[in-house]
Amino acid sequence: MLTHQDLYSLEQYHRLRPEFRAKVMAHKKLRQVELGRHASLHFEDRLTMQYQIQEMIRLERIYEPELIQEELDVYNPLIPDGANWKATLMIEYPDPEERRQALSRLTGFEQAVWMQVGEFSRIAPIANEDLERTTPQKTSAVHFLRFELTPEMVAAAKAGAPIRAGVDHPNYAADVTLSPAARESLATDLA
């Protein structure tokens, strides 16, 4: 969990931003998993959420402690707690008409995503705990997912077991084994 003490002041962040941003972008690249051509999981952690909060504070010129706390309250729930992974699921189609049609065909997409550690059973996500993002007519292009791991899965992931991710939707399928770098990065989220 991030606190006020973990954040840079506006002045500090202005000076440190180029270096900090480069560090975070390199970190995020390791934590992005492509699920076919049109979907990806962006795994969040303490560093990615610190960056998000710092950027919100910078863009909105927030310096009041109570408003900074509001940002902390919004983004802290997206930090893994040691027994789970938390990810932003993005469904991406560059053409607006193609995207509209795809999102109408992909209702329930967020429930069709899965993770797997080694030979353990696939882990279905807990999706969109903050608000519902799917209607019977279409799904959203952005979803927030939480994957809960058993203690045995945590131990296996930390010991180097392969990690897979995928989608089993009637209109979209993907199955990928995470790169060693991505696997190692996700293993650091676990306690």
The residues spanned by each domain of the chain are 4-187
Return the closest-CA partner of residue 124 out of 135, 110, 136, 138: 110
Beta bridge partners of 169: 172
Instruction: Report how far residue 148's alpha carbon sits from residue 58's, in angstroms, rounded to the nearest whole number.
Output: 33
Beta bridge partners of 42: 32, 88
Return the closest-CA partner of residue 89 out of 132, 52, 27, 35: 35
Q: What is the pLDDT along the chain (191 residues), one digit of tens a residue?
A: 999 999 999 999 999 999 999 999 999 999 999 999 999 999 999 999 999 999 999 999 998 999 999 999 999 999 999 999 999 999 999 999 999 999 999 999 999 999 999 999 999 999 987 666 666 788 999 999 999 999 999 999 999 999 999 999 999 999 999 999 999 999 999 99
Instruction: Report how far residue 77's alpha carbon sits from residue 65's, in angstroms, rounded to the nearest whole number.
Output: 19
